[in-house]
Amino acid sequence: MPLLLAALGCSNGGNVTVCTAIFSYQSALVVDATGAPVVAAWVVTDTVLRTTKPLVIAQQGYPAGAATIFSDNNLNDVRAAGDSVRVSGSGGGKTFSAMYQFGSDGCHIVRISGPDTVVAR
Provide DSSP, the chain. Answer: -HHHHHHHEEEETTEEEEPPSPPPEEEEEEE-TTSPBPP---EEEEEETTTTEEEEEPP--PPTTEEEEEEGGGGGGS-TT-EEEEEEEEETTEEEEEEEEEEESSSSEEEEE--SEEE--
Domain regions of the chain by residue span: 22-119
Model confidence, pTM: 0.83
> Which tens digit of pLDDT belongs to each residue from 66-120?
999 999 999 999 999 999 999 999 999 999 999 999 999 999 999 999 999 999 9
CATH of domain 22-119: 2.60.40
Question: Do 108 and 72 form a contact (C-beta atoms < 8 A)?
Answer: yes
Q: Which residues, in sequence order, are CB contacts of 25 under 8 Å at separation 6+?
A: 60, 68, 70, 71, 72, 109
Cα distance between residue 89 and residue 47, in whole Å: 11
Band (pLDDT 50/70/90 cuts) for residue 1 is very low
CA dihedral 29, 35, 39, 45 (to 10 degrees): -50
Band (pLDDT 50/70/90 cuts) for residue 63 is confident
Band (pLDDT 50/70/90 cuts) for residue 9 is very low
